[in-house]
Every structure is written in structure tokens, then in C-alpha cells.
Amino acid sequence: MKTLRCSIIGFGAIGQGVAEVLLLKKEFLEDTGLDVRVVAVVDSKGATIDPDGVDLADCLARKREKGTVALEKITGLEVIKSVDHELVIETTPTNIETGGAGLQNMLAAFEKGRDVVTSNKGPLTLKYRELVESAKVAGCIFRFEATVGGSMPVINLANEVLAGNNVRSIKGILNGTCNYILTRMMEERASYTDILAESMELGIAETDPTYDVEGIDTACKLVILANSIFGLDATYKDVDVTGITKITPEALEMAYQNGHVIKLIGEVSRDGIHVAPRLVPVNHPLAVGGTLNVASVDTELAGEITVTGRGAGSVETASAILSDLISIYREQ
Amino acid sequence: MRVSMDIELKDVPGQMLLALQPLSECRANLITVLHHHQKLTPRKTVPVQLVLETRPENIPAIKAKLEENGIKVVRVGEHRFRESINVVLIGHVVHTGIQDTIDEIDKTGFAEVVDISLSMPGIDLLSSAFIKINALGKEEIQKALNILKEVSTKKDLLMVLPIDIQA
């Protein structure tokens, strides 16, 4: 039995999802010879630390009751630097302007020789090259499937599962909020403003939905794909971005009468990176509805391969973190 | 321009030559010939379908020569534009000059707006248009879209393109 000591840095929806998944999968992981021991759980107010492994159920309960998991005042950065462990699971809130705490956490982790698995897009969108090189120099493993498409595999699909099959382009719906809004506008023949309000009430859109509806979130994910799959040294500036704020119910209606839906499509290839609303035939594989994500990978040997799944959700996103964790162990 | 012609030949030898000679004389390029020899018409004539590449001004001459040769021309149809594309425009579509937008495409000679649906829900609200453009070929479609893109940018219109088109 191999012991894998990890920290969960950031205990919001996704961090808690990771804790739930680790609890759920404890036996399965042990059966594969892996004793996953969470030695620290950290949120913005502090941490719970135990070198022999914290009680995850306790942590979840405390977070629910008290709003924080903290038993001692210490930052994620300090935990990464001072607590002995092999893997940092970085799930702090994403900041695409500065990279936020996440960027510092990841760099510190590599400096300490710790592997990183993350769902945090910001640092990767801003400093992909620097992060990947820091990991390489330190001999650490760095995986981030959960940053794009949530539970829906894209990065590992293109780079690992489709090894040898050159990827020419990837296009799809990478933002569930926008997909929900456009789907509901069509269903209800309602205005953009009305459906946006509905999405916010349901928690599908944030209080400030700008990043989603302006296509910024999709653009960030495409930057990560451009770097990790196409090896392009791309940044946010290289993306041509148009969001959904101008889409009308009339346009959706006319499109539908002509056999099309309108979806916010993100597209990346060596020719460019684009986010824009597009006309999609109703029976096209990319015409999925609700909050689903979908990605179509155009491969050299096999044409288009399409995956669809849930792009958000705490346990759903945590499932991608789990599979990254398992694959690191397998590699070792 | 590509033209299709349905003609009828008498069911006697040598008729096909009489049909093809006028085409040659008028310098038309023959693309397809479908000779339905087994399917005689009620008039006991042989139907032949032709597709030719020729200038529009040559068509009356071709027709006249065929008829001189005793060949009946049943139908002449144009297949000018082979590619088609749908585009959505959103914004103050009409008030920024919808006629002008259509003209910019039509005056190219290689593309034309063949269908347009408009929805104007209210004075302060954005209008939407669903436009169908036909063009000679894929290259011409791309050129027409580039023109439309320029027009849209100038008029602050959102252009929604189909998914399989290069952005």
C-alpha cells in the first residue's frame, strides 16, 4: 500500500467536492493500493492540519456549520511550504487577472517538490508556460483536466487517450451558463435579461455574470487548450471574443425555423482562437442543451470525436481531479 | 454561367450530332449529357438533359440554332450559384440601412442575398435578421462573408455565422 499525502487548498464548492469524492472512493483507492491521506484542508480563514490524515467528514460538517474548516489560523501558502506532503490539490477561487493565491500556491508547491492537481483556471490562463516549466524543473507532476469542461474530458482525451492521433482543432460549448441561457431563451421565447435573471436565481449564473456571458470564461479555457494541446504560446490577448449579450429571442426563433440553434462556440486550432455565437444545425453533435458542455476534437486519423458532459458541479468537477490524482499514482 | 437545358430529339439516327453542333458553334462547354434513350416521351421523342457552361448572352442563340435543327428545347434553367450560406445579423439592422447591406452583397456579381427574414420587436430593442446568401462557390461565399463582416462592423451589428465556416 502506497501512502499519498495531499492537501486541499481552497474549500469552496470544488474543494468540498474533492473531500466528498475521496470519502466515497476510499475503498476503491485502497483496492488499487493507494492510501490517500489528506493532511491539511485550508480555506480563506485557516486550516485543519493532521499529518496522520484529517477526518474529511468532520471537515465537511464543520464547513457547513461554521462556514469555515479552520481550526488554526494559517494560509494555504504556509501549509504548502511547511507541511510534508506529496500532492497539492489546488481549488482556490479563480482569478484571471492576477492569478490570485492559486498562482503563488502552485509555484510554491513546485518549489517544495510537491505535485499539483488543480481546477483553478486563472493561473494557467495567465502563466501557463511559467507554471509548466517550474513543474518540469522541479521534477513535479502537474495536471489540470478539471480546468476545462469540468467532468468532461478534453485535455487528457486529446493528449493521452488520443495519443498519436494528431488534433487539428477543438471546438465546442465550454460554458454551461451561456448554454443554459441560450437554451432557455429558445424554449421560453424570453428575452436575454429575463433568462439571465432566472439563471442567477438558480445559481447557474454568478451575481456578476460578466465572465460567463461575455465569453471570457470560454476564452480562458481555450487559452489553456491552446497551450496544453497545441503547444501554442497563447495568452488571453490572442483570443477573438464575442459573448451572448446581444442575442435576441427573435434571432433564436428564426434560426430554429431554419433548422438551427445558436450556441456560444469556442474554437481553437493553429489558425486562431475564437469565441462567438454560432449557428449550429439542430441535429449537429454540438447542439446540446441545458448546462451541458460539449467538445468536438477534429483528429487527423479519425475525423471528429465528440464528448459531452457536465462542465460544472462540485462532485462532477472533483471527479476530474480524482482521475488526475489516480493517473499520477499510476505513473509512479 | 452554368445552364441546364432539357431538349427532345427525334428518335432517328444522327440527332445527337445536331444537338451538339450548336453548342460547339456558340463555344459552350458541355458539362453533363444525360441521354434517356429508353425513356421515350409520349411524343415518341428522346429526352436529353444537358448542363453547359456558357455566357448568359449566348443562350438565345443556342436555343435558336437547336430549334433550326429541329430539336425541341423544353426548358432552360440557370444553375448560377452553387453554394449557399445562412447568417444572422443582430442590431439596428433596418435603421442602419438594410437595403445598403443587401446591395453590398448583390453588386459583387458573384453572390446575392436570396432570402431575408426580419424581426423588429420594438423601437428600443435590437432587431434580428436571418439572411440566406447564394454564391458561385466556396471562395465566393468567403468573400461575401468578408464584405458582410465589414458592413456589420461599420453598423455595429452582431454577425452570427454557421459553425463550419472559418471565423
Residue B38, pLDDT > 90, answer no
Q: Is A235 helix (H, G, I), strand (E, B) or coil?
A: coil
Query: Chain B residue closest to A260 (CA)?
Result: B162
For residue A157, what is the DSSP state? Answer: I
What pLDDT was estimated at residue B80?
65
Whether chain B has a CB inside 8 Å of the CB on A173: the answer is no
Is A219 an 8 Å CB contact of chain B?
no
CATH number of A2-151+314-331: 3.40.50.720
Chain centroid to CA B160: how far? 24
The beta-carbon neighbor of B121 closest among A171, A250, A262 is A250
- Check residue B123 and give its pLDDT: 84
- Which residues of chain B form CATH 3.30.70.260? 2-78, 83-160
ipTM for the assembly: 0.89
Alpha-carbon distance values, B133 to A177, A260, A280, B161 (Å):
32, 16, 17, 12
pLDDT at residue B2 greater than cutoff 80: no
B133 contacts B112 by C-beta, under 8 angstroms: yes
pLDDT at position A330 is: 72
The bridge status of strand B158-162 relative to strand A272-281 is parallel
Closest to A222 (Cα-Cα) out of A165, A286, A161, A295: A295
Candidates B158, B161, B164, B165, partner chain A, best to mutate (most A CBs within 10 A): B158
Residue range A163-310 forms a domain whose CATH class is alpha beta
Between A251, A265, A267, which is nearest B88 by CB?
A: A251
Average pLDDT, chain B: 90
State whether A272 and B126 contact (CB < 8 Å). Answer: no
A26 is catalytic: no
pLDDT tier, B97 (very low <50, low <70, confident <90, very high otherwise) = confident
Q: Please tell me the pTM assigned to this model.
A: 0.84
Predicted local distance difference test score (pLDDT) of residue B50: 87
Domain B2-78 in CATH 3.30.930.10: no
Task: Quote the pLDDT of residue A332.
Answer: 52
Model confidence band, residue B79 (pLDDT cutoffs 50, 70, 90): low
Contact A251 B91 (CB under 8 A): no
pLDDT of residue B166: 80
Contact at 8 Å (CB) between A29 and A35? Answer: yes
Q: Which of the residues in chain A have pLDDT under 50?
A: none
CA distances from residue A54 to A46, A228, B70, B134 in whole angstroms, order as listed:
14, 34, 98, 66
pLDDT at residue B109 greater than cutoff 90: no
CATH 3.40.50.720 positions along chain A are 2-151+314-331
The CATH number for B83-160, chosen from 3.30.70.260, 3.40.50.720, 3.40.50.1220, 3.30.565.10, is 3.30.70.260
The pLDDT tens digits for A1-52 are: 899 999 999 999 999 999 999 999 999 999 989 999 999 999 999 999 999 9
Domain with CATH 3.30.360.10 in chain A: 163-310
